[in-house]
Amino acid sequence: MPHGAILCRALRRCLAGAALAAALSVTPVAHAADGGVSVAVHTSGNAREGQRVSYAIEVRNATDHALPEAVVTQQLPADLAFVAATPTARRDGRHLSWTLDLPAHGVARITMTGAAEHPHHQSLVHSGRHSHLTTTVCVRGDDGVLACATGSSALRSGGAPRWRRSAAAVA
């Protein structure tokens, strides 16, 4: 077989392998397909029942165009009671939303605080020993969904209920 034919076959295999690898690779959901808009969600840490958890949401518009009336939507974890948000959010059941004007090359920041409730294990994401309060945040513009991201906080068991600890202290 001529040397050129072997090289051509090897190149085709390499290109086919690269195409397969590209198709199977995970694309970060925090960035839009063109990389122009991104969203990140950071949590304040782990929580026990009754403790507060904060989610810091950062939306970046790296494009040369403003995004007037971009809608940021957050789905609350099932075991998290809404407490407050800055700026003020519109609430619809387990969803919060904000309409923001994102300037070109601008950043918007949102803070949402909730209180961890008694865990309903079927509604939580498990990872190892602890359940997680996982939230999803998406940004929509005129062209549809621009970016989505998730944030997660471990929900640790709170030990014995308060009434049981009080009863043990009295006994």
d(CA 58, CA 77): 19
Specify if 129 maps to a domain: yes
pLDDT of 65 higher than 70: yes
- List the beta bridge partners of residue 171: none
Could you tell me if residue 89 is inside a domain? yes
CATH code for position 143: 2.60.40.1530
134 in a structural domain: yes
Q: How many domains does the chain have?
A: 1
**Residue 165 counted as domain residue:** no
**pLDDT: is 143 or 16 the higher one?**
143
State the residue range of the domain holding 98: 28-158
Residue pair 39/135 in contact (Cβ under 8 Å)? The answer is: no
**Is there a domain that residue 42 lies in?**
yes
Q: Is residue 78 part of a domain?
A: yes
Question: Which amino acid is located at 90 in the chain?
Answer: R
Number of Cβ atoms within 10 Å of the Cβ of 13: 10
Tell me the average pLDDT across 80-99.
96
